[in-house]
Each structure stands twice: as C-alpha cells, then as structure tokens.
C-alpha cells in the first residue's frame, strides 16, 4: 500500500502549545515533518469533541520545526499571499470528522487533550477506524509519586481506553514495550498489539564548535524539569566539582514541569545562577545543537526513562554521555555511552572527561557512532500503519 492511499489523522493540540520541543513533542514534530500524508488536527476550543485542520501559521510552524505560539503563528500566516490566506480560511476553520480517517494515531501526550480517549475511541470504533498510539513510557502508573494525581488519573484513563479498544501501541523502546505488557496485565487486559518504533537523532547541520566562557568545561542536561529526571543530582555534582576548584559550568535546558517548585527555587537561588549554572528553555534546534557540540559531557541521571533522546542526540554530535544505569538508557546509548550508579562513580567519570586528553580520546571513539535517522522512524511508522488496515 502506497503512503498516499492511507488516510491517517492525529491530534497536535498539546504539541502546538509546547514551550520546548523535547521528548514527546520532539517525536511528534519530527514524524509530522516527514509525513505529509498524516493530517494534523487541533481540538476546537468552542466545540468539545470536534477537531479542525491547522491554520496556515500553525501548519508552517510545524513544517519548519518551530514552537508556534499565537504570535509566531500570526506572523507566519501574514507571509502568505492574500488569496492563499482567504483560501485557507475557508477550509481550515471547518470542523473535521475524524471518523472518515482510515487510522487515528495518537502521537502526542493525548491524555492531556480536551477530548478524552474513553469517549473518542468508541466513536471511531463505530466507524471502523483503526486506532494506534505512540507510547513513550508508563511511568505515571509504575511510579505515580513523580506525577500530579490528576495527571496519573488521566494517563491511566487514556491507556485503558486504547487497551480496551484494541489499539496498536508503537513503543519507543523494547523496555517500554515490556513495561506496557506488565502494566496491561496488571490492569486486567491481555497482551496488547505492539511494536518498537526506532527513534531518531537531532540532525547535525551548521553546528558551531565552540568553547564555553573562559574555557570552562560545560556540562549539559536536557529535559523537562520534573522529579524523575533527577536534576537535583546534577546540581549536587556541580556543587562538588566547584568546591574542588574545577572550572566547570552546568547548563540545564528544558521547560518547567510538574512537582518542580522546590527544584526551581533551588536553581534560581543558587549562588552561581546566571554564571556557572544556567537554565534555558524555548531554544531553537540550532541553539540546542550548539550546546550539544560545546559540552564536554551530557548528563542523563534520570531515575526512569522510556528511551532517552538526549543520549542519542548528544552522541550524534560526538559528545560524551554519562547516564544512569537504566535499561532504556542502555538501549539508547549502547556501548557508546558511559553508565554510572553511585555519586562517586559519576564524579569520577566527569572528572576524567575534564582532562583534555581523555576528552579527545572519547570524542575520537565516538566518530564511529552512526546516529539513527528520523527518516527511518517515519518509514517504519508508515509501513506499520499500513499493516493495520490490511
């Protein structure tokens, strides 16, 4: 079945409101940019249970890999010729009946969207629409202490709806697939239809290879500020290194997440905040790529992960990675990343990478790393979507 023969719809309401395209939003964006046959839709704010096509500004923003926001979407829309804007306005403001799709695919954090899947999926089932979802992890169920109770409730409701209606699950790692099977069994469902969807890495283009201020060694951590990412551990490590006189800085990239008030307070009240400790969000791909290239090491001290995109993104830029000894992170980094457990082992590994000779040796070895591509991810997705309707 050719790509164009399959009508697939997906909701991007939550992605369009993202401050930083990391994790779930990164996957959704990269797949949409390579999938012109997947129709991105947005919930109608004044009509619960209905979707609309994207506005010209939203569509351009997604296609260019930009974080839209209302202001940016408006600016992009104004660049269209007048007749094009009129033509789009006549069609994109109309509600879309997703029941006309062959497949409805949940690419983003669908449990946060307005139309509950426990209501949407039965509607689609009545019209024989195949359903599928990309699952990054099941942490809200396996480790609810890291999430707000309302988020855990909504995630479980979303997952149960897809399990009940026989959706296919695209898992971003074998670890996530195994976890999904265990959670499904615990919820009283049979083993779901699932497969592993390989992840891709941020493209390496026009990257400036530079140094941090005053030749400081820059440590980088990328990810939403939330409990399981374990940012506090990275701060402890920074404090220890600075107390020893190391010429280092720590850059944190990610939007503020849930249960992060204490962490944010610790970051912003740190004596080195704005100097040797920086927190950024809303970065462009090129700005993030610069940080990846400039870092002496990317730290991934997460308590739990579904895969670990920063691992492969860092390796794709030839940058050493030190990660928690976790199955999903090992799946991502293979033999190219280093894995640490105790605080002392983390300290030792980072200290070694501060030595120029060791840094050069590791980067030389990382030249053998072949980064996975998002093109392959999109190809696998399309092939497996086609199989759902055969």
Q: What single string gives the DSSP state of each residue in 254-277?
A: --B-TT-HHHHHHHHTSTTBTTTE
What is the pLDDT averaged over residues 174-203?
Answer: 96
Percent of the chain's residues with pLDDT above 90: 72
Residue 65 lies in a domain: no
Domain that holds residue 48: 3-55+93-200+374-388
Residue 174 and residue 129 share a domain: yes
Distance spanning both ends of the chain, measured CA to CA: 9
> SS3 for 177-196, per residue?
HHHHHHHHHHCCCCCCCEEE
Instruction: Specify whether 353 is located in the same domain as 293.
Output: yes
Per-residue pLDDT of 339-387, as tens digits, reads: 999 999 999 999 999 999 999 999 999 999 999 999 999 999 999 999 9
pLDDT at 207: 44
Judge contact between 339 and 329, C-beta under 8 A: yes
Residue 105 inside a domain? The answer is: yes
Same domain, 268 and 317: yes
**Domain of residue 251, CATH code:** 3.40.50.2000
Find the mean pLDDT for residues 206-218.
63
- The pLDDT confidence band at residue 86, using thresholds 50, 70 and 90, is very low
Shared-domain flag, residues 333 and 317: yes
Do 9 and 156 lie in one domain? The reply is yes
The answer to whether the CB of 73 falls within 8 A of the CB of 55 is yes
CA 254 to chain centre: 11
Both 172 and 221 in one domain: the answer is no
- Are 276 and 177 part of one and the same domain? no
Residue 21 or 146, more confident? 146
Pick the closest to residue 233 from 337, 325, 324 (CA basis): 324
Determine, yes or no, domain membership for 73. no
310 and 361 both lie in a single domain: yes
Phi/psi region, residue 352 (left: phi>0; alpha: psi -120 to 50; beta: rest), is alpha
pLDDT of residue 78: 47
Is 86 part of a structural domain of the chain?
Answer: no
Asked, for residue 70, whether it belongs to a domain, the answer is: no
**24 and 144 co-located in one domain:** yes
Q: Is the pLDDT of residue 261 over 50?
A: yes
Whether residue 337 is predicted with pLDDT greater than 70 in this model: the reply is yes
Least confident of 15-29, 49-63, 76-90, 127-141: 76-90
Same domain, 384 and 297: no
Of 25-34, 79-88, 139-148, 301-310, least confident by mean pLDDT is 79-88
Q: With 60 as the cut, is the pLDDT of residue 31 above it?
A: yes
Confidence class for position 89, pLDDT limits 50, 70, 90: very low
* Structural domain count, the chain: 2
More confidently predicted of 77 and 197: 197
258 with 151: CB under 8 angstroms?
A: yes
The token pair that represents 336 in the structure block: 């190219």
pTM for the model: 0.88
Shared domain check, 251 and 167: no
């Amino acid at each position: 079945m050719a790509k164009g023969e399959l009508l697939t719809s997906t909701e991007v309401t939550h992605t369009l409101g993202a401050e930083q395209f990391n994790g779930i939003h990164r996957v959704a964006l990269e797949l949409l940019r390579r999938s012109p046959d997947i129709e991105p839709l947005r919930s109608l704010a004044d009509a619960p249970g209905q979707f609309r096509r994207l506005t010209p500004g939203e569509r351009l923003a997604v296609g260019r890999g930009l974080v839209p926001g209302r202001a940016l979407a408006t600016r992009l829309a104004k660049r269209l010729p007048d007749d094009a804007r009129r033509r789009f306005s006549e069609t994109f403001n109309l509600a879309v009946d997703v029941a006309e799709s062959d497949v409805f695919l949940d690419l983003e954090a669908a449990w946060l969207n307005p139309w509950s899947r426990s209501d949407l999926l039965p509607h689609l089932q009545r019209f024989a629409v195949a359903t599928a979802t990309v699952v990054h992890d099941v942490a809200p169920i396996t480790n609810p202490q890291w999430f707000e109770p309302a988020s855990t409730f909504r995630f479980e409701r979303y997952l149960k709806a897809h399990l009940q209606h026989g959706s296919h699950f695209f898992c971003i790692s074998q670890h996530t697939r195994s976890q999904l099977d265990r959670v499904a069994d615990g919820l009283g469902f049979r083993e779901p239809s699932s497969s592993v969807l390989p992840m891709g890495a941020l493209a390496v283009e026009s990257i400036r290879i530079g140094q941090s201020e005053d030749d400081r060694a820059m440590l980088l951590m990328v990810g939403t500020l939330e409990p399981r990412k374990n940012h506090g551990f990275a701060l402890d490590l920074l404090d220890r290194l600075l107390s020893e006189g190391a010429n280092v800085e720590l850059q944190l990239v990610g939007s503020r997440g849930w249960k992060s008030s204490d962490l944010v307070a610790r970051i912003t009240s740190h004596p080195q905040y704005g100097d040797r400790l920086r927190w950024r969000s809303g970065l462009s791909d090129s700005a993030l790529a610069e940080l990846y290239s400039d870092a002496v090491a990317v730290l991934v001290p997460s308590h739990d992960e579904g895969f670990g995109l920063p691992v492969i993104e860092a390796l794709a830029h030839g940058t050493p990675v030190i990660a928690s000894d976790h199955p999903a992170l090992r799946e991502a980094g293979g033999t190219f990343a280093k894995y640490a457990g105790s605080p002392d082992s983390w300290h030792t590994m980072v200290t070694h990478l501060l030595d120029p000779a060791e840094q050069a040796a590791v980067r030389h070895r990382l030249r053998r790393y072949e980064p996975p591509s998002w093109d392959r991810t999109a190809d696998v997705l399309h092939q497996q979507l086609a199989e759902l309707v055969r």
